[in-house]
Structure 1
């Protein structure tokens, strides 16, 4: 028997009495299948939502359109997500969980500040210029005045964790004596801003780029050079592995 789209309603028994909640221990033969099917259905809905949000923005997207695009019933959609804001938040969370780890993995012991920042700059540029990221950015900017919670949700699950991770690394480098940052979080914001020059801004405005790969290399090198010039405590600390 396949796992149903809807979990049992505690009050939906034939006599109106509460139906006992299913075991969550995984002892049932179909438990792993149901969990897998539920996650697959959730991902199916998020994929549909991505397409609708990209085409219509947040305000113009409807739960009916998302259900149709995802290939599920509205009942199934509401079984997974309470409302459109809940769905959009889940979409943002999913994308951040999927895309941020490779960037944050740049911060590892044994790498020099220059190596770490170079890898991170490349990851940042790649992430923010992906088509889905550009769509999400435009949605947040256009809808934030009317739906400020969308911007807050995006910030909490996307930029803020990434900035906090870089800020912790900068604080560690300050303790080691390789860099000097009185305000590590502000310094992290400055580095992210340096990575958004030229390529990111033009792509957000749908402007053409004549030589994107060359521009990317130039932006990465410039961002790292400028940042280290401002915050590296000693020139040789840029090239020597920390103790």
Structure 2
């Protein structure tokens, strides 16, 4: 009697393999100079296999950004409305976003996108929709749904923007300019708490 493997399905392994290779190539070569052919060769699969998972390069790029968010548990399945106090939820998601924003690969990705934006605005739009825009929407949905805030859609969107402005502080700009920034992991909790407290004050003023 043959026992089936309980590991990850091969199709899922191939998809992850492609995403990891694509992420490395987007970082090293940029969006424009990274082709589906190059991704196939780098990941050790056929071009047909790449297209079986991703319809085009735009879809592949979006998936690379989404994978990074999922790695830090920043997605709809990992951030949900619970019975926990809003402040606790805000602190939790602040910690996750701080880890994401200080990830060297994410910092480099921002640098690559900014560098290409003048000649290729399309890639900036892709990145914004897959990363910042999706994150804004996620936080806005929490602020609409949680009973302690229950903001209207427009208000929730505005307060979500405030959330990221408070969270990113000045360290994010310094990181994009490749200047030394003071946001080590041991300071995440304190900054997350401050961000949550300030956002609660903003919500109460709405």
TM-score (norm 1): 0.65
Cα separation, partners in 2 of 1:220 and 1:99, compared to 1, 3 Å: closer
Residues 130-180 of structure 1 show CA distances to partners (whole Å, capped at 9, x for unaligned) of 23322332233332343333333333333333322322332344xx4x448
After the TM superposition, list the runs of 4 or more consecutive aligned residues in structure 1 that deviate by more than 6 angstroms. Answer: none
Shift of 1:195: 0.9
CA contact (8 A) 1:199 1:215 kept: no
Among 145, 160, 165, the residue aligned to 1:193? 165
1:116 aligns with 2:84: no
Cα separation, partners in 2 of 1:103 and 1:129, compared to 1, 3 Å: farther
CA distance in 1 between counterparts of 2:92 and 2:120 reads: 34
- Count, aligned residues: 198
* Alignment gaps of 5+ in structure 2: none
Cα separation, partners in 2 of 1:168 and 1:211, compared to 1, 3 Å: closer
CA contact (8 A) 2:35 2:57 kept: yes
- Pairwise CA RMSD: 3.3
Q: How does 1:81-120 map to 2 (within 5 A)?
A: 81=54, 83-101=56-74, 105-120=78-93
* Alignment gaps of 5+ in structure 1: 1-31, 234-243
Shift of 1:104: 7.0
1:168 aligns with 2:141: yes
Identify the residue that residue 110 of structure 2 maps to in structure 1. Answer: 137
TM-score (norm 2): 0.75
CA contact (8 A) 1:180 1:231 kept: no
